């Protein structure tokens, strides 16, 4: 992507020096947490996904602690990059949803952090907390995105953040709380509804991607980076890598094909109205 380093967003909340600690708590489940549960289930033979409450992306994990390393120059560049993506995406949504969009904050943390959704660890991956309407990320996740998921590139990293901001859009539009109520009332449909919620966030990420292309800030290969990232974190791919088998009934975020398709829909149209993953006949 074409961007100018050197600035920090006013909506950036840097809590990397806070550290972690505490007892076992219920925490939001992000991209990295999905992999962790699959691996634990495969190795132990126990269903660690049974720890999740129906319809809520959460996991129970022990909190961490220890010393906090000083930020490196490379990490500071990442801070400036996520600041750019955060501001650019929010400016885009403010134009797309005039009078309705309210800016969120991006919270940087290291190892573990308290949020309105509970104590989160780096292993949970980036996540959005509807309780305080903030996005959380431990920047070390981007190393995991490259090594574990095989999805390098700055636009791959931007896609991850844009996806979480998509959840913020869902909250502002009333979609997220409505889906949570449906999950509570229909536990058997909790996973299927979660998939549709996540695919819509992918589509919303694509909507922002569309705006970056129109403004010529994308470079050759950027779109492919985002599509590769979307495919790399599909439930089927993660299950196959961690357990050697695929169980569609346990999907919570969608298959690789679905995630690529819905990001592409948003990217091609640039229209949030085209992101109705809950419509009749939607796959």
What digits encode the pLDDT tens for the residues 19-50? 654 433 444 555 555 555 554 444 434 444 44
Q: Model pTM? A: 0.82
Task: Give the chain's mean pLDDT.
Answer: 85
Query: Binning pLDDT at 50, 70 and 90, where does residue 230 land?
Result: very high
pLDDT in tens, 167-199: 999 999 999 999 999 999 999 999 999 999 999
CA distances to 57, 136, 154, 173, 246 from 109, rounded to whole Å, are 19, 7, 20, 27, 33
The predicted pLDDT at position 74 comes to 76
Q: Is the pLDDT of residue 64 over 70?
A: no
For residue 266, pLDDT beyond 80: yes
pLDDT digits (tens, 9 = 90+) for 109-134: 999 999 999 998 888 889 999 999 99
Q: State the angle between helix axes of 190-214 and 175-185 in degrees (0 to 180), rounded to the nearest 10.
A: 160
Higher pLDDT, 42 or 275: 275
Nearest to 138 by CA among 71, 204, 205, 85: 71
Query: Phi-psi bin for 82: left (phi > 0), alpha (psi -120 to 50), beta?
Result: alpha
Question: In the predicted model, is pLDDT for residue 63 greater than 90?
Answer: no
Which one has a higher pLDDT value, 52 or 226?
Answer: 226
Percent of the chain at pLDDT above 70?
Answer: 80
Residue 5 has pLDDT above 90, yes or no: no
Q: What is the maximal distance between C-alpha atoms in the chain?
A: 51
pLDDT at site 234: 95
| pLDDT at residue 282, as a whole number | 58
């Amino acid at each position: 992507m074409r961007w100018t380093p050197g600035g920090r967003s006013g909506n950036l909340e840097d809590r990397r020096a806070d550290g972690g600690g505490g007892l076992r708590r219920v925490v939001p489940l992000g991209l990295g947490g999905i992999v962790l549960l699959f691996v634990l289930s495969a190795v132990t033979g126990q269903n660690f996904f049974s720890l999740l409450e129906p319809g809520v992306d959460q996991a129970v994990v022990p909190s961490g602690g220890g010393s906090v390393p000083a930020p490196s120059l490379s990490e500071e560049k990442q801070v400036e990059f996520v600041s750019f993506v955060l501001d650019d995406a929010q400016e885009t949504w403010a134009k797309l949803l005039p009078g309705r969009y309210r800016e969120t904050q991006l919270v940087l943390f290291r190892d573990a952090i308290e949020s309105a959704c509970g104590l989160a660890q780096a292993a949970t991956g980036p996540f959005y907390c509807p309780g305080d309407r903030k996005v959380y990320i431990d920047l070390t996740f981007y190393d995991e995105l490259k090594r574990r998921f095989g999805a390098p590139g700055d636009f791959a990293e931007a896609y991850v953040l844009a996806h979480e901001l998509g959840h913020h859009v869902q909250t502002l539009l009333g979609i997220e709380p409505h889906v949570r109520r449906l999950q509570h009332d229909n536990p058997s449909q909790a996973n299927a509804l979660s998939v549709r919620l996540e695919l819509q966030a992918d589509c919303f990420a694509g909507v922002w991607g569309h705006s970056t292309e129109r403004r010529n800030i994308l470079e050759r290969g950027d779109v492919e980076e985002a599509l590769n990232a979307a495919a790399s974190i599909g439930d089927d791919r993660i299950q196959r890598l961690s357990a050697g088998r695929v169980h569609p009934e346990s999907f919570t975020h969608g298959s690789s094909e679905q995630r690529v398709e819905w990001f592409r829909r948003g990217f091609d149209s640039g229209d949030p109205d085209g992101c109705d993953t809950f419509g009749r006949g939607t796959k």
